[in-house]
């Protein structure tokens, strides 16, 4: 395995090959094989997708081939390609550093951009198309959490999409684009806002979104500031957090039932950490590898969310 890894590092990649009409199945010659890797040499230009479909029986695993071959998405005839058969780096730690997964936090969308919190639908669609074009993989929040727990390797170019507050504009502008591109997303809704007027999504609108695989998570009950207020006693603060976090979650649980694949048990635990941290008001955390990344998510939300 080590010899193969070194071999991969020494591969010199040619320029981007033009693909034309990509064949469904690879016609590459397999020149080496082990439990962990296949080494193939295409006889004509091929894509990571074709190779993944043929050798990994799953075109969506193309990222594994790309990540193992310095990000290459196309392979020229005669070029050696190392195809990893299974995940090799669930921690995302490499000699040059560790993996960070950007979490994009959107709020309101509209026909035109307005202020810091409303993005124009055209700009949003262009951002999504950019991600697709540049080979980013949009992963679900559940997959992201599994990665935090070192249970799943994520593509090097992973990104998570989140939408705060529960605006109806998600359904109007984001949903059609996300459906078209096959991107998963998480909505963080605060339950007092659900169904509150025509700018808000209702429970009846959230349910079908969940049924289609979109993830709906808690963004507190009233969207209040979770930091301790000046002069607030321990008991008052605990009561307020109970209302914002626990009650908000109960209401969310009653409003939408999550599909099986989102692993609600794991989720709840991860969210529990988040809540406990909020109650403690921050501070260093022992579980560095996991926490550093999760805090990125929390920071993102608190900085941008208003």
By beta-carbon proximity to Zn ion, the closer residue of 83 and 209 is 209
Question: 147 with 178: CB under 8 angstroms?
Answer: no
Our separate counts of H helices and E strands in the chain read 12, 14
Q: How far is the CB of 124 from Zn ion (least distance, A)?
A: 17
Cα–Cα distance for residue pair 144/153, rounded to 1 Å = 9
Give the nearer residue to Zn ion in terms of CB position, either 66 or 164: 164
Residue 222 vs 305, nearer CB to Zn ion:
305
The upper half-sphere exposure of residue 300, i.e. CA atoms within 13 Å in the direction of its Cβ, equals: 20
What is the Cα–Cα distance from 43 to 15, expressed in whole angstroms? 16
What residue ranges bind Zn ion (CB under 5 A)? Answer: 164-165, 305
194, 201 contact by CB (below 8 A) = yes
Q: Maximum distance among all alpha carbons in the chain? A: 73
Which residue lies nearer to Zn ion by CB, 157 or 171?
A: 171
Compute the distance between CA of residue 289 and CA of residue 287 in angstroms, rounded to an integer. 6
Q: How far is the CB of 293 from Zn ion (least distance, A)?
A: 21
Asked if residues 56 and 64 have their Cβ atoms less than 8 Å apart, the reply is yes
Nearer to Zn ion, 146 or 165 (CB): 165
CB of 266 to Zn ion, least distance (A): 24
E-state strands within 34-168: 37-41, 46-47, 74-75, 81-84, 93-94, 97-98, 103-106, 108-110, 118-120, 137-138, 158-165
Give least dist CB 193 to Zn ion, A: 9
Question: Which CB sits closer to Zn ion, 143 or 165?
Answer: 165
73 closest CA partner among 28, 18, 153, 144: 18
Q: How far is the CB of 304 from Zn ion (least distance, A)?
A: 8
CA distance 222 to 80: 56
The C-alpha atoms of residue 233 and residue 41 are separated, in whole angstroms, by 68
In whole angstroms, how close is the CB of 300 to Zn ion at the nearest point? 11
When the beta carbons of 202 and 305 are compared against Zn ion, the nearer one is 305
C-beta closer to Zn ion: residue 127 or 217: 217
Cβ of residue 219: shortest distance to Zn ion, in angstroms? Answer: 6
CB of 162 to Zn ion, least distance (A): 10
């Amino acid at each position: 395995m080590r010899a193969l890894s070194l071999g991969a590092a020494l591969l010199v990649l040619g320029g981007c090959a033009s693909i034309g009409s990509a064949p469904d199945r690879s016609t590459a010659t397999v020149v080496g094989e082990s439990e962990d890797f296949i080494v193939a040499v295409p006889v004509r230009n091929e894509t990571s997708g074709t190779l993944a479909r043929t050798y990994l029986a799953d075109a969506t695993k193309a990222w594994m081939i790309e990540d193992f071959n310095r990000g290459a998405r196309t392979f020229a005839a005669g070029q050696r390609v190392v195809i990893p058969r299974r995940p090799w780096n669930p921690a995302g730690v490499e000699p040059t550093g560790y993996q960070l997964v950007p979490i994009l936090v959107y709020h309101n969308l509209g026909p035109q951009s307005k202020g810091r919190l409303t993005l124009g639908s055209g700009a949003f669609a262009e951002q999504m198309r950019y991600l697709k074009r540049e080979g980013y993989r949009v992963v679900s929040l559940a997959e992201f959490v599994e990665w935090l727990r070192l249970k799943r390797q994520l593509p090097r170019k992973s990104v998570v999409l989140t939408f705060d507050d529960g605006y109806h504009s998600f359904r109007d502008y984001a949903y059609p684009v996300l459906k078209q591109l096959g991107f998963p997303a998480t909505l963080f809704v605060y339950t007092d806002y659900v169904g509150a007027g025509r700018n808000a999504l209702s429970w009846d609108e959230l349910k079908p979104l969940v049924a289609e695989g979109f993830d709906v998570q808690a963004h507190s009950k009233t969207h209040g500031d979770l930091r301790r207020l000046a002069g607030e006693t321990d008991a008052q603060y605990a009561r307020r957090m109970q209302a914002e976090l626990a009650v908000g979650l109960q209401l969310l649980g009653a409003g939408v039932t999550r599909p099986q694949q989102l692993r609600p048990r794991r989720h709840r635990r991860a969210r529990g950490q988040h809540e406990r941290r909020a109650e403690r008001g921050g501070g260093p955390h022992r579980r560095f590898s996991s926490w550093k990344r999760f805090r990125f998510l929390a920071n993102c939300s608190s900085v941008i969310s208003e």
